[in-house]
Amino acid sequence: MESLNKPVVANLDFDDIKEDIINHFKNDDSFKDYNYTGSALNTLIDILAYNTHMNAITANFSINEMFINTAQKRENILSIAKGMNYIPTSTTAARVELTINVPRLGSERSFSIPVGTTLTASSGNTTYTFNLSQNYIAQFLSNETSKDIKMTFFQGQRLTERFIQDTSNVDFPVFDLLNTNIDTQTLAVRVNDIKYTMLNPEIESISSIDSSSVIFFVEEISNNRHRIKLGNGVIGKKVNIGDEVVVTYLSSVGELANGISTYSLSVAGRSDINIVSNSMSYGGASIESERSIKDNAPHWFQSQYRAVTTNDYETIVKKNYPDIQAINAYGGEEVGKPGKVFLTIKPKVGDKLSESAKLHIENNIIKKFNIVNIKPQILDPKYIELLLSSTIIYDNAKLTTNESALKNKIFSLFTSFNNDRLGSFKKSFFEQNLAEEIKLLDKSIVSINTRTNLRYDAVVTNNRLDTYQISFNNPLYHPLLGFNSNKGGILSTNDFTRVGKSFTSGFDDDGKGNLRLFDNLDNVKVYSNNKAGTINYGKGIIDIKDFDPKDGNINFTVVPDSFDVLSLNEYILRISLDSSSINIVEKDNIELINLLNKSRSV
């Protein structure tokens, strides 16, 4: 009993604290009115509980804000991250690489396209402006009539702020920039018209910095704004009274300007300069979120600006290229290719990165941190579609809506399951998790049985598949040698056409590890190649020999051995909403249950 009367010090809630104090009074017979709202004692207990509550909350907040995992206020998260030498990524301007054609006028030797030249791009009803961040010069050889130049434009509004240093003897004078959404990579600082260089932890080498180094630092302050910090005369050159500091930067909309492919260029006085080719804009991202800073800062500190472990690669790429929804890095030794590191990146919009973005990441980001003898390679994510066939048995007496509404609820759940539990690297599908979530949807649901098939959608371009080896990474259903050979084994494809053929073809397997290519002639399967490839049931790997398909899609569907499907390497699992089916059956409909509720779909 005694233990019951001890105050619970972890209580933060006002009413709980008050209850604790009242319990304490119950042990003392001196007063009896503590429980009545109007009594003096109750009023005093209110004040005491309020005070205790405020102290507890203050202590709780203070301690939480001291650690990066629990801090809530952005300013505090930034402050802790700063201690780890981590500078959160600012808004990043989307970029586009394009080639323009500059016709030669007369016998001019060169033509300069200056910084600030703009490119307009439309996305829906919105127009975005892209800026040139450096001068480009077209130099003509004597016999040239025009010149193609490759250049990179960055989205954003080009802004300039001017400050005059008005105090002396300030250690590290600071200049707070007024605008938000600044891409700090585009910052250009000039003091008395001398260009200064931004110093950040990964390039910082404090021993080479002296009192004459023209450097500046950038840090984020409150309300998504940034601050320029200049030297103090020991580390970096000092500014004096009257010195003029001019800061130019882009204020960008971030990821909104990604994925644009239509542009119009205007070079002052030269309407004859045209765009020859351009990539899609990419790389734009919003300012780094608190969640992301909490995740990245410790990893960044751990990596020490060198890409050694796979985790380092992920952290460094994410830090420098924020338009990433998911990233997975793995060593080549895991897939029999030592000396390589594979990075698979899923951007925030779309299924894969553009070739320009991959080159940018390889050349401008990874190279700076990579160990010399390791070759990084960026792969596109590959998607394995889960074809679900769920049989839901329900009790009609408890169903408050109808079968159709129940079915819609389950399809909505598939969508949210894709977003929350799948759709990223290393996120495996566990049938039991899905069953639990379906069960919670409606009280009338008695039983759930979900069968899963796996599908890889291969693309044929120029009569070649995008891959000739499909790794489902999960054992396939193979109870005995020659299983289901007569009916096509456990592998099937859609009908596709081969070059020069008027009929359709398909693949299946013979249950003995061979892929068979067949033609559909008058609705009869006629096998044209019984060894068109191999299928490794244990590892879930299909190797396809070269053949002659016409351009289009070929979907390879297999039956896995387990109800759970694991996700490995560059593969991402997602439920195919179009190809999944849901059967809703009343619990007394025994005949239909027996027909549908089977453990295998073969």
Partner 1 sequence: MAIYDQKFIRKNVYKDLDFNFTKLALTNDVGTKSDTNSIKQSVVNLVMTNFGERPFHPEIGSDVNALLFEPGGALTYSIIEDAIESVLENFEPRIQVLSVRVDETGIDENRIFVRIAYNFLEKNEVDSFDVVLERLR
Q: Is 37 in the site for partner 1 (CB under 8 A)?
A: yes
12 binds partner 1 (CB under 8 A): no
- Taking contact as CB under 8 A, which single stretch among the options 41-49, 147-155, 456-464, 465-473 is the one that binds partner 1? 41-49
Q: Is 25 in the site for partner 1 (CB under 8 A)?
A: no
- 6, 8, 31, 545: residue in contact with partner 1 (rule CB under 8 A): 31
Subset of residues 46 to 105 that bind partner 1, contact rule: CB under 8 A: 46-47, 49-50, 53
Asked if residues 140 and 128 have their Cβ atoms less than 8 Å apart, the reply is no
Residue 30 binds partner 1, judged by CB under 8 A? yes
In this complex, which beta carbon is closest to partner 1, that of residue 11 or of residue 428?
A: 11
Distance CA 279, CA 356 (A): 7
Q: Which stretch binds partner 1 (CB under 8 A): 26-34, 149-157, 325-333, 516-524?
A: 26-34
The owner of tokens 């359709």 is 504
Contacts of residue 52, Cβ cutoff 8 Å, sequence gap at least 6: 17
Contact in structure between 406 and 396 (CB atoms under 8 Å): no
Minimum gap (Å) between residue 17 Cβ and partner 1: 10
Shortest distance (Å) from residue 32 CB to partner 1:
5
**Piece of the chain touching partner 1 by CB under 8 A; list 27-35, 129-137, 311-319, 573-581:** 27-35
Question: Which class for 352: exposed (0-12), middle (13-18), buried (19 or more C-beta within 10 A)?
Answer: middle
Does an H or E element contain 440, and which? Answer: helix 431-441
Q: How far is the CB of 13 from partner 1 (least distance, A)?
A: 9
> Applying CB under 8 A, does 15 fall inside the site for partner 1?
yes
| Nearest residue (CB) to partner 1, 47 versus 206 | 47
Contact call for residue 334 and partner 1 (CB under 8 A): no
Residue 385's nearest CA partner among 579, 569, 195 is 579
User: Which of residues 39, 224, 279, 583 is near partner 1 by CB under 8 A?
Assistant: 39
| Residue 11 interacting with partner 1 (CB under 8 A) | no
Q: How far is the CB of 327 from partner 1 (least distance, A)?
A: 46
Which of 32, 109, 531, 598 is in the footprint of partner 1 by CB under 8 A? 32
27 binds partner 1 (CB under 8 A): no
Question: Using CB under 8 A, which of the segments 31-39, 98-106, 439-447, 483-491 binds partner 1?
Answer: 31-39
Give the residue with the Cβ less far from partner 1, 52 or 576.
52
SS3 320: helix
Q: Least CB distance from residue 61 to partner 1, whole Å?
A: 18
Report helix, strand or coil for 242. Answer: coil
Does position 9 interact with partner 1 (CB under 8 A)? The reply is: no
Residue 463 and residue 499 in contact, taking contact as beta carbons nearer than 8 Å: yes
Site string for partner 1, 116-155 (x = CB under 8 A): ----------------------------------------
492 SS3 class: strand
Rounded Cα distance, 148 and 275, in Å? 9
Beta-strand relationship, 524-536 and 541-544? antiparallel
- Cβ atoms within 10 Å of 116's Cβ, excluding its own: 12
Query: CA nearest 572: which of 413, 350, 340?
Result: 350
36 touches partner 1 by CB under 8 A: yes
- Least Å from the CB of residue 19 to partner 1: 12
Q: Which helix (H) or strand (E) holds 292?
A: helix 290-303
For residue 15, report the phi and psi dihedrals to the nearest 5 degrees.
-65, -35
**Does residue 548 belong to the site contacting partner 1 (CB under 8 A)?**
no
Nearer to partner 1, 43 or 396 (CB): 43
Complex with partner 1: residue 4 or 47, whichever CB lies closer: 47
Closer residue to partner 1 (CB): 46 or 290: 46
Q: Which is nearer to partner 1, 39 or 123 (CB)?
A: 39
CB of 6 to partner 1, least distance (A): 23
Tell me which residue of 97, 71, 96, 101 sits closest to 83, measured CA to CA: 71
C-alpha distances out from residue 131 to 117, 159, 279, Å: 6, 11, 15
Give the tokens for residue 428. Answer: 């495996």
Q: For partner 1, which is the closer residue by CB, 31 or 411?
A: 31
d(CA 79, CA 245): 26
Closest CB to partner 1 among residues 47, 372: 47
Does residue number 109 form part of the binding site for partner 1 (CB under 8 A)? no
CB contact burial 521-547 (16+ within 10 A = b; e otherwise): eeeeeeeebeebbbbebeebebebeeb
| Distance set, CA 548 to CA 496, 497, 531, 544 (Å) | 11, 9, 15, 12
Question: Which range of residues in 37-45, 195-203, 437-445, 509-517 is near partner 1 by CB under 8 A?
Answer: 37-45
Residue pair 167/245 in contact (Cβ under 8 Å)? The answer is no
Span interacting with partner 1, options 45-53, 351-359, 389-397, 586-594, rule CB under 8 A: 45-53
Full 3-state SS string of 178-192: CCCCEEEEEEEEEEC
Least distance (Å) between residue 26 CB and partner 1: 13
Determine which residue in the list 6, 8, 26, 33 makes contact with partner 1, applying CB under 8 A: 33
Nearest to 552 by CA among 507, 509, 499: 499
Assess 459 for contact with partner 1 (CB under 8 A): no
What is the CB neighbour count within 10 angstroms for residue 416?
A: 10
Amino acid at 167: T
Nearest to 449, CA basis, from 436, 439, 437, 435: 435
Shortest Å distance, C-beta 23 to partner 1? 18
Q: Show the tokens assigned to 493.
A: 């494809």
Binding-site size for partner 1 (CB under 8 A) equals: 19
Minimum CB distance to partner 1 smaller for 43 or for 416: 43
Q: Which is nearer to partner 1, 43 or 419 (CB)?
A: 43
Spatial distance between the Cα atoms of 472 and 535, rounded to a whole number of angstroms: 11
Q: Which of 374, 360, 272 is nearest to 332 (CA)?
A: 374
Residue 45 CB, nearest approach to partner 1 (Å)? 11
Interface pick for partner 1 out of 1, 38, 178, 486 (rule CB under 8 A): 38
Q: Phi and psi (nearest 5°) for 381?
A: -65, 145
Which one among 44, 105, 115, 194 touches partner 1, defined by CB under 8 A?
A: 44
Shortest reach from residue 46's CB to partner 1, in Å = 6
Residues near partner 1 (CB under 8 A) are 14-15, 30-33, 36-41, 43-44, 46-47, 49-50, 53
